[in-house]
Chains A and B, each alone.
Chain A
Amino acid sequence: MSHVSGSRNGSGSSYCCYLSSMSADRVLHRSPVPAIGGFTLPPWLAVILRKLRQALLSDEEKRLLHLVEFAIATLGAPLLEASDLEDLERRLDEQIERPEMNNLLGLMTASFPAVAPETTPAASDVAAAPAPLLGEGLQGLLREGFRLSEAIAMAIGRLMRSRGPSEFQMAAEQLSADKPLGFLEDPSIPPEVAASWLAGLRANVLMFALVYPLIYPQTPEPWLLRSIAEQWIHNERLYMRFLASIPEAQVPLDIVPAEERMDLEKLFGQTADAARQLEDLARKAIDSGADVFPPRDEPDDA
């Protein structure tokens, strides 16, 4: 482990000890974008799909589309081989931990400033193209999924304009360098926030899987497509909670109600306190010379 004791003291002065995009002070004070930039592919794909229909792709959008196609084939396709729901979840966890995931998201993040949406599409425009191709029964789910994707894209776009495109370039570089899922174990990141980021990653892969049949000749079983669509929406909502908790993202209340938003300052503060206490525990263990500290177990443990 590279993040040793003392690297997280809450002041930010020792931040350089731990090069991660998932830093508390980045999220709260300096740059929230690196923490979220890579987890937003579904909205990008929504943007691309929308523009595909208008035949208006720029060179940067063509580059992004090529990356998206590669991600769909590499990360999305394995989900379509799932034999049941448990297998689907297992495959999903496998994909989000692949190094290729971080690399692809890093490359895609670099493209975001060039493709970030500035306007909300008309409701009738969202998901109009892919829904029939995946089956009429999914139309309602897809419409909701793309509505959320567009909301995420708009929120990220507002953050980017607020913080500047350079944040995304930095995020792109750090994403490619980060250990997959490294934020899970980062003691400075509140578990609630990490759960939201995890959902963002899952939403990406689920989206890759969902779009696969639009590009390649494969017809997944209806139950599987429905499960993927339902999980995609569920994970998008979880991810949206985090975005909605950043005021500059200006997420509408009808997307994420006030009671579902996180108090990020409070959460990061509590996590910093807990991290210090766990570190104290480790120091006591070292000072005591004991193999295990505290050395006793619960008297009635089976």
Chain B
Amino acid sequence: MPELAAPAARDLVLLPLAEKNRPAVVLRVLEDRVVVLIYGTGTLREMPRIEVRPETRDGKALGFYKPTYFYVSGVRAARAEILIRTGRRCPPELFLKLRALAEQTPGDG
């Protein structure tokens, strides 16, 4: 049974969304109960993105087994208790790239 606990910034978590568990990097935690994160997808789209390939150091650190793409449209806010922790942390430089992407235009719906 995966642990369900309050994550911290830079944690890699699984975000339950539309019947899938999406890999997501925690960007901020507010009041220990709401998490702002950016989730990754295997779908390549022609729009600004951060690509993480599994053979790279970032990909290995996050445990990815296929190319994963992060888009600004993947920014979400979620209740902390629904997130599934993985025990992995986002490397510092990749985290800053994801932050920069997310801060372009937050996905506010």
Give A residues with C-beta under 8 Å from B: 1, 4-5, 86, 89-90, 93, 96-97, 181, 184-185, 187, 191-192, 194-195, 198, 270-271, 274-275, 277-282, 284-286, 291-298, 300-302
Contact = CB atoms under 8 A, between A and B. Distances in A.
Contact of B106 (A4, A97, A278): A278
A291 B16 contact: yes
A279 B104 CA distance: 14
Contacts of A293: 76-78, 109
A271 B57 CA distance: 28
A291 B82 contact: yes
Nearest to A301: B41
A263 B95 CA distance: 22
Contacts of A89: 57
Nearest to B104: A274
A191 B100 contact: yes
A1 B9 contact: yes
Nearest to A87: B57
Interface string B56-76: 010000000000000101111
A282 B34 contact: yes
A77 B97 CA distance: 29
A4 B78 contact: no
A89 B96 CA distance: 16
A296 B22 CA distance: 12
Nearest to B109: A294
Contacts of B43: 298, 300-302
B82 A292 contact: yes
B99 interface: yes
A301 to B, nearest CB: 4
Nearest to A85: B57
B1 interface: no
Interface of B: 8-10, 15-18, 20, 22, 27-32, 34, 36, 39, 41-43, 57, 71, 73-79, 82, 91-93, 95-97, 99-100, 102-104, 106-109
Contacts of A270: 103
A1 B57 contact: no
B8 A198 contact: no
A295 to B, nearest CB: 8
A185 B30 contact: no
Nearest to B107: A294
Nearest to B17: A297
A281 B36 contact: yes
B96 A281 contact: no
Given A292-B17, A293-B109, A300-B43, A279 B76 contact: no
Given A284-B109, A293-B78, A1 B100 contact: no
A97 B107 CA distance: 30
Contacts of A282: 28, 30, 34, 36, 77
A1 B76 contact: no
Given A274-B104, A278-B106, 19 more contacts: A1-B29, A4-B30, A5-B31, A86-B57, A184-B9, A184-B10, A185-B9, A185-B27, A191-B96, A198-B93, A278-B77, A280-B108, A285-B78, A291-B82, A292-B82, A294-B108, A297-B20, A297-B22, A301-B20
